Structure 1
Amino acid sequence: MTETRAPINPYMVLAFAVLMPGAGHVAIGQPQRGFGFAFFALLLALVSWHTTTPEQSFIGRSALGLFVWALSIPDAYRIARMNYEKWRRG
C-alpha cells in the first residue's frame, strides 16, 4: 500500500498568497506559476507607478500590480483546495 503525503493545508496556502505574490503557488509546488504572478505583479506595479502622478496614493500608483496579486490569491487557494480534496478522498 502506497501512502502519499498530505498536501499543504489550503488555508496555509491562502496565508502565503496574501503575504506575498506567488508565494502560495510556490508552496503548492508550482514555482513557475508563482514566479510568473510575482513577475507580472511587479512589472505592472512599476508600469502603473510611472504612468500616474505623484499626487496619487500608493494604492493608486501600484494598482495594476495589486490587481495581479489579487488574482493570484484565489488561484493559489483553488489549486490547493483541489489538491487537498483529491488527497482526502483517496
Structure 2
Amino acid sequence: MIIQKLKQEHPYWGYRRICAMLRKQGKKINHKRVYRIMKENRLLLKKHIKKAKRSFQRKIVPTRPRQVLGIDMTKVMTKNVRMIRGILQ
C-alpha cells in the first residue's frame, strides 16, 4: 500500500502531509479517505497536547513598605557589546 510505504519512509508525517504527497504524485484522493485508512492501520500520530503555561495567580498584599519588589530587565545588543539594564520598582 502506498500510504504505508510513505509512512515508513517518513514516520513523523501526519495524514495531511501524506495526502499532499499522494496528490503531488498525481493520485486523486480525499484527505478523509487517507485519514480513515491510516486510522484503520494504526498509522496516525498521537496528538501533541500543549502544556498550559503556569502563571502566578495569587495576589500579594504587602503589609509594610518595600515588602514586594519587582524588576524589569532590558537587554540591548550592539556590535560587540551586550548591556543589561535592570530597573527596580
More helix by share: 1
Structure label with greater radius of gyration: 2
Identify which of structures 1 and 2 has the higher relative contact order when contacts are C-alpha pairs closer than 8 Å and 6+ apart: 1
TM over 0.5: same fold?
no
The normalised TM-score by structure 2 is 0.21
